[in-house]
Amino acid sequence: MSSYTAPLQDMQFVIDELCNVSAKLGELPAFAELGVGSELSAALLGESAKLCSGVVAPLRRVGDTQPATCQDGQVTLAPGYADALQQLAQGGWFGIAADPDYGGQGLPEIYGTAACEMWNAADMAFALAPILSIGAATAISAHGTEQQKTAYLEKMHTGEWSGSMNLTESGAGSDLGVMTSRAVPEGDHYRLYGQKIFITWGDHDATDNIIHLVLAKLPDAPAGSRGISLFIVPKFLLNTDGSPGERNDVWPVSVEHKLGIHGSPTCVMAFGEKEGAIGYLLGEENQGLACMFTMMNEARLKIGVQGLGVSEGAYQKALAYARERVQGGVPIIEHADVKRMLLTMKTSIEAMRALAYSEAVTLDRAHHLKDPAEQARIDLMIPVIKGWLTEMGDEITSLGVQVHGGMGFIEETGAAQYFRDARIAPIYEGTNGIQAVDLVSRKLGRDGGASMESLLADVQATIEQCGAGTTDIQAIGTALAAARQDLQASTGAILGQLSDRSEAAQAGAYDYMMQVGYVVGGWHMARSALLAQARRAESDDPFYPRKIRSACYYSEHILPRAQSHGAVVESGSSALLDFDSEWM
């Protein structure tokens, strides 16, 4: 059986002290009556933690060893998954940050982000169900007609119905413009024909209906990605009273056999193999990609949080093993190299959590305040969150295997599952290479680096605060100052490359994304250390000195990685660009 204990003290420290949600969110009109602050945080996190540790975590190995199957157009879930999904729905977690007018809880996104971390730490394959459903509901909320919102959202927000996203086709991959799925107009609806692959939680019987969002092309659509439309295609068509009725012509063909996330029914889905799957246009014709990108900030934030959550699960398992495994007469946690690996895992996770949660606050402020500066910040940071957190998830889960030594390579210990599960996160929702190019070509380039300059100014303010701190705090500030200076130089180099050698900017994009991640992670660790130093004067809780030591380790052992990434960016990547692909 897998075990997981949510790190509630650190989660609440980040939410209530580092992010200061009572001030940054509590005064927004949408949240003014909710009592946003430490009491609400403690209550919500505590309830989610109980569900994840008591119900979801025990299913992690079950889903891995008894995965979802498909036979005769029917998907069978891993044992226990359907019941756990229903308990998640009963707790209101599907609609935690959704509009109360449509069955949602109306809470700030940061609480949904924290819950998402717990789901993924407990069982990443299970967590994909609410993540995909929330994403589909977000798209309908943003682009649906009032009739569509009334028909679908409340049931999706309460978890009675789930949702899926149907984008990818065989041979298309990330190039959605070459898809072949088609939609034929027929009265007030359309009939869809085609096949989609890699459809996460594409079919199951855990909910009464599944609301598929499907990309397809109209008969007279423009060529390429400009000719894609988005459709609502329910598994069961709705009766006049809104209840599920006749089965639509949409069927699972098979369940993919994957490296990890075995419990997730990742399906090949067929639309219209008989009379045509009935679908309803979401948004405007030929604007399907624009509709999809409306939900991308929220969706990519959640995928980054997957990297965080699975890392926390791997860390807890590795830590428990290191404390009980004796070698050389002492538990291996006392061995310097094992301690190095565990501290690398621990402090990186703390930086990842601080970054993800901080930007969840930015996401809410951008949405509710309609502030261009807040929107520019979240747009800039989303590809970093998705890319850096999932790359770190790969490293941290690999370290979890290494801490176990040879036993980590044995499936029965459960360490390898975290590693296998984590590997998908850098790939889907736009590969990390796509995230990196988006960061430099669109987010950095569109405002000439102004939003990055604003971020660097905030980092500088923290550095100056560190200068007045203790010796430890000053050392953290000194390391951060050097990393900030390097990032500023890399930003200038990328902007210069965008103006006259865009291929060089794209070649260095991955390293720039990673450099930003390490530096911003270091900034949040420095901010955490400053807060912890102030709290030490009024509390003898060992959490606070431990937090300072974590920041010290990060600045000494993790943050220097940013410099090497910056050196690649500033090199111009000539060795990469000049290497003929035929020489490979």
Q: What residues are annotated to the active site? A: 429
Our CA angle for 314, 320, 324, nearest 5°, is: 145
Task: Give the Å distances, CA to CA, from 148 to 101, 151, 223, 225.
Answer: 14, 5, 28, 25
Cβ-Cβ contacts under 8 Å for 309 (sequence gap 6 or more): 116, 117, 118, 119, 120, 121, 122, 124, 127
Question: Distance between CA atoms of 346 and 334, rounded to whole angstroms?
Answer: 16
Question: What is the Cα–Cα distance from 241 to 518, expressed in whole angstroms?
Answer: 53
Tokens of 425: 């996160």
Two structure tokens written together for 372 = 């261009």
- Indicate the helix (H) or strand (E) that contains 73: none
* AA identity, residue 477: G
Task: Please state at what angle helix 296-324 crosses helix 336-369, rounded to 10 degrees.
Answer: 160
CA separation for the pair 112, 141 (Å, rounded):
17
* Three-state secondary-structure class, residue 262: coil
CB of 512 within 8 A of CB of 569?
A: yes
Residue 255 CA to residue 247 CA, distance in Å, equals 20
Specify the DSSP element, H or E, that contains 37. none
CA–CA separation, 326 and 333 (whole Å): 9
CA separation for the pair 571, 568 (Å, rounded): 5
Got the DSSP string for 89-134?
Answer: HHTT-TTTTS-GGGT-----HHHHHHHHHHHHHH-HHHHHHHHHHH
Q: Are strands 161-166 and 209-216 parallel, antiparallel or unpaired?
A: parallel
- Which of 179, 183, 159 minimizes the C-alpha distance to 171? 179
d(CA 455, CA 68): 44
